[in-house]
Structure 1
Amino acid sequence: MTFTTLRALHAAIGTAIDDIERVYRERTPNDPIEFPSLDEPYYYAAQHRPEEELAEALKGDPAVAAASKRIVAACGQLATTVNKPWYGLMEDVQAGQFSAAIRFLEAANIVEILREAGPEGLHVREIYRLVLDLRANSKTATTADTVPLTPAHLSHILRLLATGHYLREVKPDIFANNRPSSYIDSGKTVAQLREAPEKKYNDTDGVAAFVALTGDEALKFISCLTEWALPDKRSLRRTDVNFDYRAPPPEALPAAQTTEGQVARYGAPFNLALNTQLGYFPWLELPENEDRFVRFGHAMTGTRQWEIKNQILQGFSWEDLPQGSVLVDVGGGIGAQSILVAQAHPHIHVVVEDREQVVSTAQSAWGPQYAELFDSGRMSWRPRDFFQPWPALTLPALGPIAAPSVFLLRLVLHDWRDEDCRKILSQLRGAAGPETKLLIGDMLLPNACADEAAYEGADGSAVTFPFVTKESPLLPNLGVANIHGYLIDIMMMGMFDAKERTEDEMAALALSAGWKFVEVRRTPGSMWAYTTAVPV
């Protein structure tokens, strides 16, 4: 029946393209616009013609997003079916080379260089000159005469990216941005990067910062997954890691020793790769990691891209909260998501809680763009250890707060093992009032197998997905169209020995700490969900 499946996948692609085209035509009946081209850059910080903005915005339309997912899923399954296994295997097992090339593209500021060069592109020799010129002002860069990179090296890296559709090779050794590469643009000019390279990620959408984080420490530690999971006493040097995020400073840690024949263990692949006994967050706060620490805050802004634009505003019924309600963003960093709520709903006060090192720099990280919001007191920060009981809160405009209206945990629980999550959730449950809601923003991963639970609930009602029908040849979780959720799952394993969770796993975890799920909101075909729970 393989040919039947292949034709069904082919038909699914055609039907989904029809669905996308229908949305574009219906929205612009008099002067139809085209779907954005792969070859045309779209810089988020630039000015665009109205039709360009609309064409880009329609990609976020629920019907377009769902159809796009089906196309990616069907293309991936079709390609894997027909591709020679050796080719597919080599593409996958050597994907680290491509990841490293994307990181290089961002670190070398090549996207910004090519943006200023325009659609005609730039010769690799000139790109090389500008890359070294910008490095000259970096406080961590070595001198130009110690750089192994040559124009020939550069052309080969860029050609790999162009082959993978992350650049265009306009003519031999002349490269230009395309749509995927333009997505990494910081919006900074070359002159700005030359003058203040340390401010590259300030006032950005965070995508470049997330690419840098993932291509730097994340790529390093995930390469040690096997050595961590299946320890080899020939290569391990340290004993168990103190994985408490409140870990003492390095000088207070005892020297780690192993005797001959002893199998050493690490808290997570991160500890093995970076040779540290500190958890990831204390490690970030070391003086030598200052740039990484700043980058992490901006990278969390970039995680908005997992959602449709401003999805947090649709993830909960904020408009139903009474005047003077308080949203507490637990572990919210610089407030990349809760700031959207504060902007859209003036009747809500937002308090972001995080480590002292984070909240001390959070407001300045935003620059002047939200000064009025901060000055009004409707958004503020305070340091907090979320393993300890929730401390009393007093706001100048509202006075003492007995219990907040909403606790938000966005991309927090996936950083922690189950036992730690239970402690965090229990502290929030202890502080909750009868009307307090818990809002969890995280991936909820479906299984990759087809079973009845993937299509309907026990009572016969539809569950929070299905992404496909029973008759579809696609995997119930849409396969490679949603593989980013499963990749982040393993990234959390590598960083913290933590994980993303299935809906059943998350519901059970919450219930064990006194919270009951009452609503799950997703966009069509998305792994990302906002889940509301109430005290029990």
Structure 2
Amino acid sequence: MHSLQVSTLRLLADIISTAVGKMEAAYERDGHLLPSLDTPFDPADSAESLRREPDVAAAIMDILAAAAQISVTVRDPSRTMVQTALAFNISSCLRVASELNVVEIIRDAPSQASHVKEIAALASVDSNLLGEILKLLATHHIFREVSPNVFANNRISSVLDKGKALIDLLTSSRDERFTGTSGFAAWVEYMTNDIFRSATCLMDAISTLQDGIVPFNLAFGTTEPLYYWMELPENAATREHFGLAMQGTVAGGDPESLFHGFDWGSLGPGSIVVDVGGGNGHSSLTIAQRYPELHVMVQDLAHTVEEARKYWHTHFVDHANRGMVEFQAHDFFTLQPVKNADIFLLRIIAHNWPDLRAIEILKHLRSAALPTTRLVIMDEIVPIAGGRTFENADIPGSAQLFAQEPLLPNWGTASAEVYLFDIVVGIDTIECILCGGVERTLDDFKELLDQAGWEMVRVHHGDRTRYSQLVAVPKV
């Protein structure tokens, strides 16, 4: 047993060494250095794009998986358990840093580093507590403590920069802080506040098993489903925040990932793309900016559609002025009114709903579909964790890669993000943190589509994003 464990460590170390060699070769080939952890993130840096090249992205996954597996193998398991049990503090502290605009305060400091007392004075909070918060984050490589109690931004912390002048952030209301931003900080704060609150009621919801009652309901004291609750007038600020947060799911990744899948350029001029449950329409707007001859229809609940109208008139007014985008108040649990769609787009929708409700949405789209209509689903596909084979491998693009042994088949914590979101949107089809949804495997999606009258014909696994794209056509 002892020699087996040593051998496993050596295999994991070799995986890391080989992957590092591949990364170094790629960066040397292109004349770049690996971006430093100590400097702010610059998305325009051409060295950053190398991370998205398939060979480099694969090497990164191997490094992340092997390093994590080595860590938990060699560490006292009780210490691992304690640290995991206390990990909620990192989320809590991250919210504090974002809401207090710590990144922007440091960014605008003369030396781009600030003593915690200076940060606390501008944020109007206690410097001792803020210092402890920043030390914890810096220990996890979020911020950098350059000298005792003096902090600078680094590659990780800087992604929370809202891109606005500090004076505007300090003088605007909480609800206005994200206006005009990419939405990524809004997304982080939504996760570390609203979702965090719901997560604390997870055990209560599982143990009570009340029909239709999920952790969100218990946390916010309502029997309404999340999206209907957000439509209430008193929750307008939350609704707007949520819309910006969903916009941030694009900003936090690579917008180009929308085009590494379904070929939007294959659609002819005037083709109708219906963005079903599209929020403020940020995804379809990105697509329309690339292909301005597409006719877009953004559908969502009434208040959200009005926010979409404002968003498009701010970010792509030309398309609106040409009459190439429409905004339609529509509940996707009712009959689909658009009968001539070339594309029905469902981006991050299916995972919000349990199977029966998701099938209901898909059936309404199938009833309205032409024989030539295609359904494009952008969502996360849960990788197989416990085996190295899967069904439906005959569907083009569906083949799932597996990590080399002794790594877990799904690369372990390197792919943990999808499982974390599985908890956010659903534990199973009854209980979940938000509204009864669930992340699905490829087989789950195929069964879902089959039951709703759609046939999956193509899969595009994302190599620049955690979202895959599934293409389906009406079953005959």
TM-score, normalized by length of structure 1? Answer: 0.83
In the TM superposition, residue 527 of structure 1 has moved relative to its aligned partner by 4.4
Inter-CA distance 120–343: structure 2 relative to 1 (3 Å threshold): closer
Which sections of structure 1, spanning at least 5 residues, go unmatched?
133-148, 233-238, 242-266, 393-401
For 1:423 and 1:462, locate their aligned partners in 2 and report how far apart those are by CA, in whole Å: 26
Match of 1:200 in 2: 177
Counterpart pick for 2:240 among 275, 289, 294:
294
Task: Provide Cα deviations, 1:16-75, integer angstroms capped at 9, x if missing partner.
Answer: 122222222222xxxx2211111101255xxx6xxxx11122222222222212111111
In the TM superposition, residue 110 of structure 1 has moved relative to its aligned partner by 0.9
In the TM superposition, residue 119 of structure 1 has moved relative to its aligned partner by 5.3
Whether 1:26 and 2:35 are equivalent positions in the alignment is: no
- 1:445–1:527 CA contact under 8 A, matched in 2: no
In the TM superposition, residue 409 of structure 1 has moved relative to its aligned partner by 0.5
Within 5 A, what are the aligned runs for 1:31-50? 32-42=31-41
Match of 1:511 in 2: 450
Match of 1:486 in 2: 419
Inter-CA distance 323–459: structure 2 relative to 1 (3 Å threshold): closer
SS in 1 for 2:331: coil
- 2:462–2:469 CA contact under 8 A, matched in 1: no
For 1:78 and 1:186, locate their aligned partners in 2 and report how far apart those are by CA, in whole Å: 36
For 2:72 and 2:442, locate their aligned partners in 1 and report how far apart those are by CA, in whole Å: 28
Which sections of structure 2, spanning at least 5 residues, go unmatched?
427-432
Task: Provide Cα deviations, 1:447-490, integer angstroms capped at 9, x if missing partner.
Answer: 2112332xx86669984221424xx3211111111101000010
- 1:414–1:492 CA contact under 8 A, matched in 2: yes
Match of 1:362 in 2: 308
Whether 1:445 and 2:437 are equivalent positions in the alignment is: no
Identical pairs, percent = 36
- 1:203–1:367 CA contact under 8 A, matched in 2: no
Inter-CA distance 347–525: structure 2 relative to 1 (3 Å threshold): closer
- 1:342–1:379 CA contact under 8 A, matched in 2: no
Counterpart pick for 2:64 among 72, 86, 101:
72
In the TM superposition, residue 303 of structure 1 has moved relative to its aligned partner by 1.1
Match of 2:6 in 1: 3
For 1:461 and 1:293, locate their aligned partners in 2 and report how far apart those are by CA, in whole Å: 38
In the TM superposition, residue 338 of structure 1 has moved relative to its aligned partner by 1.0
In the TM superposition, residue 188 of structure 1 has moved relative to its aligned partner by 0.8
Within 5 A, what are the aligned runs for 1:274-423? 274-304=220-250, 307-365=253-311, 368-392=314-338, 402-423=339-360
Whether 1:477 and 2:410 are equivalent positions in the alignment is: yes
Task: Provide Cα deviations, 1:237-295, integer angstroms capped at 9, x if missing partner.
Answer: xx755xxxxxxxxxxxxxxxxxxxxxxxxx11111112211211222233443322111
Which residue identity lines up with residue 356 of structure 1 in the other structure? A
For 1:204 and 1:57, locate their aligned partners in 2 and report how far apart those are by CA, in whole Å: 22
- 2:383–2:441 CA contact under 8 A, matched in 1: yes
Which residue identity lines up with residue 214 of structure 1 in the other structure? M
SS in 2 for 1:388: coil
- 1:66–1:525 CA contact under 8 A, matched in 2: no
Within 5 A, what are the aligned runs for 1:58-97? 58-97=50-89
Which residue identity lines up with residue 268 of structure 1 in the other structure? V
In the TM superposition, residue 528 of structure 1 has moved relative to its aligned partner by 2.2
SS in 1 for 2:371: coil
Match of 2:430 in 1: none
Whether 1:106 and 2:98 are equivalent positions in the alignment is: yes
Which residue identity lines up with residue 489 of structure 1 in the other structure? D
For 2:231 and 2:396, locate their aligned partners in 1 and report how far apart those are by CA, in whole Å: 48
- 2:395–2:459 CA contact under 8 A, matched in 1: no
Match of 1:464 in 2: 399
Which residue identity lines up with residue 145 of structure 2 in the other structure? E
Inter-CA distance 529–409: structure 2 relative to 1 (3 Å threshold): same
Which residue identity lines up with residue 277 of structure 2 in the other structure? G
Within 5 A, what are the aligned runs for 1:161-240? 161-197=137-173, 198-231=175-208
For 1:78 and 1:43, locate their aligned partners in 2 and report how far apart those are by CA, in whole Å: 31
Inter-CA distance 465–21: structure 2 relative to 1 (3 Å threshold): same
For 2:112 and 2:250, locate their aligned partners in 1 and report how far apart those are by CA, in whole Å: 32
Which residue identity lines up with residue 194 of structure 2 in the other structure? E
Inter-CA distance 57–484: structure 2 relative to 1 (3 Å threshold): same
Task: Provide Cα deviations, 1:102-129, integer angstroms capped at 9, x if missing partner.
Answer: 0111111111111112655111111111
**Number of equivalent positions:** 465
- 1:342–1:378 CA contact under 8 A, matched in 2: no
For 2:284 and 2:265, locate their aligned partners in 1 and report how far apart those are by CA, in whole Å: 14
Match of 2:119 in 1: 127
- 1:387–1:427 CA contact under 8 A, matched in 2: yes
SS in 1 for 2:344: strand
In the TM superposition, residue 358 of structure 1 has moved relative to its aligned partner by 0.2
| Bigger mean CA offset, 483-492 vs 278-287 | 278-287
Match of 2:429 in 1: none
SS in 1 for 2:274: strand
- 2:253–2:464 CA contact under 8 A, matched in 1: no
In the TM superposition, residue 306 of structure 1 has moved relative to its aligned partner by 6.7
- 1:9–1:473 CA contact under 8 A, matched in 2: yes
- 1:43–1:187 CA contact under 8 A, matched in 2: no
TM-score, normalized by length of structure 2? Answer: 0.93
For 1:169 and 1:495, locate their aligned partners in 2 and report how far apart those are by CA, in whole Å: 36
For 1:341 and 1:229, locate their aligned partners in 2 and report how far apart those are by CA, in whole Å: 40
Q: Which has the larger radius of gyration?
A: 1
Inter-CA distance 524–391: structure 2 relative to 1 (3 Å threshold): closer
- 2:51–2:57 CA contact under 8 A, matched in 1: yes
Inter-CA distance 501–460: structure 2 relative to 1 (3 Å threshold): closer
For 1:61 and 1:115, locate their aligned partners in 2 and report how far apart those are by CA, in whole Å: 30
For 1:525 and 1:311, locate their aligned partners in 2 and report how far apart those are by CA, in whole Å: 6
